[in-house]
Amino acid sequence: MKPILIKNARVYSPDDLGVNDVLMAAGRFLAVGPDLSVSLPGLETIDAKGKILAPGFFDQHIHVTGGGGEGGPVSRTPELVLSELIACGTTSLVGVSGTDFITRSIENLLAKVRALSAEGANAWMYTSNYRFPPTTMSGEAAKDIFMVPECLGVKIALGDHRSSFPTVDEVIHLLADIRLAGMITGKVGVLHIHSGNIPGAFDMYREIVSRGFPIKHIRPTHCARIRHVFDSAVAFAKAGGYIDITTGGSCCFKEGPAEAFAEALEAGVDPKLITMSSDGHGSKPRFDDKGNMVGLAVCGIECNLSTVQKLIRDYRLPVPTVLGFITRNVADSHGLAGQGRVEEGAVANALLFDEDFSLTDVFSKGRQMMRSGEIIVKGTFEA
């Protein structure tokens, strides 16, 4: 892989570093600073004057093997392909499973995560899906975390008519296993929780934390799909927990998920405790008041990029704050110090934007994947 020197870009790490040069080689950022003088064999130099350089986006909730299934086999959503990630600046991801615990195996999820990694993305996964006890590969959630390097934690669903409705004691026992497995492996170990519309889940979290369990392992997502969940999530974050706001699918705010981010900040939530994810390739089912599915669509993954653009262009939020939601915050919350930032030694995931935050170039693990708006690296079976 040839080394790349990007010159004269306005660099956000996501902190604003001003105009700098950035050197990438062997998949890492080797140097960030003004007027770098570099002599390396095969060096490619890109003049990015007038452009913005930011970390690649890190989406912690994508159904890489497809989601859905609520309406029978015909409603299974398709698998993700690499070019979809590149098109919206997503260089790192955590793959998840969803409602379908029968035909969407965890082994298949792991294989897809490894395939995307081989194609050029940075990819991890959570074991299990909506079910409790968790659906695993080894027979135990803790063993999946220990035995599979890509496995960062466990996913379940709470407060959803499709979930298994575990008790507080059952959830805290699972959390204890996750925490211990994380300690043994050097991972954070997280319980990634699909938040449904039925009240009660955040009451459960409060009780668990009140018993002395560390809040950092409890990770609710879909935190802005209904108002009472959002309000509870804000209180949870103000107590020190991470909350994840989904940019795809339904949202309780009139202006969409961008308004949810703005309101959470206005309510006093530490921006470092807020993350963003797409729910990409998940299904968007609509149910009537009797629980019958009456419609189905597929979530795209471009919604993170459009939400970032809206927060910066329309809401005028600080660029470092907005970029943090989808870069460093996600990496730090999972203990992945080499991800989500532009700094020496970090994995060379980077995006170039025009001054209006239109995406033009994508680099993943030091390899250019998009050039001047054209995707130049695609997945194995893409035309």
Q: Say which CATH topology domain 4-55+340-375 has.
A: Urease, subunit C; domain 1 (2.30.40)
Count Cβ atoms below 10 Å from residue 358 Cβ, excluding itself. Answer: 12
| pLDDT > 70 in the chain, percent | 99
What is the tens place of the pLDDT at every residue in 186-223? 999 999 999 999 999 999 999 999 999 999 999 999 99
- Catalytic annotation on 356? no
Range(s) for CATH 3.20.20.140 in the chain? 57-333
pLDDT value, residue 164? 93
Sheet arrangement for strand 190-195 = 57-62, 90-95, 122-127, 151-158, 190-195, 218-221
Q: Which CATH architecture has domain 57-333?
A: Alpha-Beta Barrel (3.20)
Of 59, 279, 332, 361, which one is the catalytic site residue? 279
Query: How far are the Cα atoms of 190, 238, 276, 363 from residue 323, in angstroms, in the given order?
Result: 22, 20, 10, 16
On average, the pLDDT of the chain sits at 96
Q: Which residues pair with 191 in a beta bridge?
A: 154, 218
Whether the CB-CB separation of 264 and 274 falls below 8 Å is answered with yes
Range(s) for CATH 2.30.40.10 in the chain? 4-55+340-375
Whether 73 has a pLDDT exceeding 90, the answer reads: no
pLDDT value, residue 71? 79
Residue whose C-alpha is closest to residue 201's, from 175, 174, 220, 173: 220
Residue with tokens 């350089």: 53
pLDDT value, residue 249? 85
